[in-house]
Amino acid sequence: MEHAATGQDDRECICVGGDPQSLLEREELEQEASLLRALADPTRLGILKLLAASDRPVCVCELVDRFPLGQPTISHHLGVLRKAGLVSAYRQGTWMYYQIQRSRVRDALACLGELVSVDE
């Protein structure tokens, strides 16, 4: 059968096997996909916007007050953001304080930027 895009016989296709370079790229793609998945939620995006607008670390109690969700749900979303490196946190007494990690947001933008041409 002829391949529609190349006009070559599909049986002639030789796929790259266990090339170490492609495995490295796969790892990088997995990391980038994980980062973008963390951003792909309205609540998490809203949390990041609130943290970005603040000039100081924000207490989890302040975040809970801004969303129609309970504290455990907000904490779950913050955990996803922490795992992706998009926020950092520290404990003060019984409260957790969160701050956006702008360098990781820049990483996400760079990942997306690779998909578009500067000339467009």
**pLDDT at residue 11, as a whole number:** 64
Provide the whole-model pTM: 0.75
**Residue 14: its pLDDT value, please?**
61
Give me the phi and psi of 57, to 5 degrees please.
-60, 145
Whether the CB-CB separation of 41 and 77 falls below 8 Å is answered with yes
- Give the chain's domains with CATH numbers: 42-112 (1.10.10.10)
Average pLDDT over residues 31-57: 95
Q: For residue 22, name the pLDDT band (cuts at 50, 70, 90).
A: low
User: Which two structure tokens, joined as six digits, stand for 115?
Assistant: 């998909």
Number of residues that this document lists for the chain: 120
Backbone angles phi, psi at 95, to 5 degrees: -105, 145
Q: Please give the Cα distance from 65 to 85 (Å, whole number).
A: 23
